[in-house]
Structure 1
Amino acid sequence: MTFDGFRYTCRIARRGRLDTQPVVILGGSSQDRNSWQRHEKWLTPLSSVITVDLPGYGTADFLPAKYGVDFLAAAVRHVVRELGIPRINLVAACYGGAIGVRFAQHYPHLLERMMLVGMTTVIPADYAVAMERWDGMIRRGETEPIARELADRFMSPPGTGHVRKKAAVARLVYQQIASQNPEQLRMSAEHNSRLMRHEWYRPEPTPDIPGLVVTGEHDTLTTPAMGRTMAACLPTARFMTIEETDHLAPVERIADFADLVARFCTDRPLENLPYASEPEVFGTSRPA
């Protein structure tokens, strides 16, 4: 597919049933359209699952940093229109969350439900400072040091609390970053520039649709407090934490995360789940 001159790729997994609207997943900047394959076996019995390498990410074309979140949200709209889908369930994690919220604000008629994972209204100040340093490291080809730093940043520090598969996930993050080829490094550097040049979150009207904001119980990058603030900005939202996880909850508890997505997208109860906190109700449309 091509949007505004930039080639991009999407993956569609389906089994034929349609218990809910198609699930579109927007992952973080270090994820691609294949990062969610292990979640599909729990989701495709309910509906099709669509993952995308948007321009600037994965195997898509390089995207100059002058193109920001508005452009990427419009690219998601292009995906939905090209596939002929009236409305979608949107699951958006980390940087995908920024794109997802902007998509909801600009194209509300295309949304049925929205789930945000590790999403905040602001980029943490220390992360923003570190990005400028990382940008220089990437451009100098210092992949191993930045891979170690990013792995440490995404994972909760020692003593925070028990995190499942922590060592294995940390190795995975490190290997993904350290093994980037020159073109991937170029795209990573441009992603950092994009983050620094454009608004992460803009307080525009958001549609009054079912919303769910989720963070890892021990997430120290996008903390539960930040998640609650995000949930409070949506008209109708619930907030939950996934137990024994940090910022990389979707990878640390794959089956449980997929179950939560499936429950949310089919309006099943979210209470009394063995892997998550009880839902907290937020939203700007709640009575005072």
Structure 2
Amino acid sequence: MERFAVVPPSPEPLMRTAVVAQDPPIAGRSGPVPPVPEQVEERRLAFEGFAYTCRIVHQDAPRTEPLLLLGGSSQNRYSWQGHEKWLAPLCTLVTVDLPGYGGADFLPARYGMDFLAAAVRHMLTEIGMPRVNLFGGCFGEVVGLRFAQAYPEFVRRILFCGAAKRLPDIYTDAVPRLSRALERDEIEKAADGLVRLFMSNPGAGQVRRHAAVARLLQRQFLNQTPDEIKKAVEHNTRLVSHGCYEPLPVPAVPSLVFTGEYDTLCTPQMGRELAATMPAALFTTVKETDHLVTVERREESADLIGRFCTDRSVEDLPYCNAVESLGFSAG
């Protein structure tokens, strides 16, 4: 495959997701410094007949293994550009539009998590990355965990955010209503429901930039394209049909599960339940955040990820609550 510099095309926005949204650039303010174009590569691949694309930000002097970022269900491969200022100096970064998501080919719901995990393996094999630090946020955790279970030899460290080993009741209750609204082109109704689903109730606790992030999500949902809506409906069908967890062995590698202290979708208790199934996993919550940890405290979440991937301590960080050791002993 040819290596080439890439600027995101205008028809595909940097971010449309309920899981890890990013702010658009604000005129007159400096933002994260993007990598120079020569560092950025895109690879168009195909797995079992479905085309998909990954984005690679190369680091020629890495301090740790490449970091694979698997984001939320509506997230595309540009969604982590806001974190590159802090993560790209540490290691090579990889993001991907897996089949069925972002700008990849539509994927029918009969293809489940095993297929998506195999697609991740296909990508890493094609781009020559035999071992990575694995991050999964929300739905990215579902795919990431299945990948780690099926292909443990690829995984050096594991980080999961906004994660659970069971579908939240509020999600399964909301899916039929949201899917019907999307199918009927009732986009505003669906957007209202999605914002309520992914963000905490304002009375749950102090969440940084809660109102601003809610407005951002509302705007992003309202601007979804017909292709994105079709994929969103199919995603909900896929997740409900196949479930999100299989009780298979998880590799005994350093692991960290974290979420917002006021996450009402994948609650802290659900994160603890997941961490308890993983050998020697740590768990913590990020202060003044809900499910959208990486939006509400972008720099801090990048710092937490970077610290863990470079074997620096994650204890006693001012933006986190106490770190808990919840994983079982692999020995």
**TM range, normalised to the smaller chain?**
over 0.9
Cα pair 2:167 2:243 within 8 Å, conserved: no
Contact kept? 2:170, 2:197, Cα under 8 Å: no
Q: Please give the root-mean-square deviation of Cα atoms over the aligned residues, in Å.
A: 1.1
> Which of the numbers 100, 118, 126 marks the counterpart of 2:162?
118
Name the residue aligned to 1:33. 77
Question: 1:1-288 residue pairs with structure 2 within 5 A?
Answer: 1-285=45-329
Q: Secondary structure at the match of 1:208?
A: coil
- Distance, in Å, in 1 between the alignment partners of 2:123 and 2:215 is 33
Q: Is the 8 A contact 1:270 1:278 kept in 2?
A: no
Distance 1:224 1:286 in 2: 23
Which runs of 5 or more residues in structure 1 are unaligned? Answer: none
Letter paired with 1:55: P
Q: Could you tell me whether the CA contact under 8 Å between 1:62 and 1:187 is conserved in 2?
A: yes
Kept in 2: contact 1:33–1:52 (CA 8 A): yes
TM-score (normalizing by structure 2):
0.85
SS in 1 for 2:174: helix
CA shift, 1:70, in A, is 0.7
Aligned-partner SS, 1:8: strand
Return the alpha-carbon distance in structure 1 between the equivalents of residues 330 and 95 of structure 2. Answer: 33
User: Take 1:56 and 1:176, find their aligned partners in 2: how far apart are those partners?
Assistant: 19
SS across alignment from 2:314: coil
Distance 1:279 1:232 in 2: 13
Given that 1:105 and 1:206 are in contact with CA atoms closer than 8 Å, whether structure 2 keeps it comes out as yes
- Deviation of 1:286 after TM superposition, in Å, equals 6.5
Q: Which SS does the other structure have where 2:247 is aligned?
A: coil
Q: Is the 8 A contact 1:73 1:99 kept in 2?
A: yes
Return the TM-score normalized by structure 1. Answer: 0.97
CA contact (8 A) 1:206 1:234 kept: yes
Q: CA deviation at 1:126?
A: 2.6
Give the number of equivalent residue pairs: 287
Aligned residues: percent identity? 52
SS at match of 2:78: coil
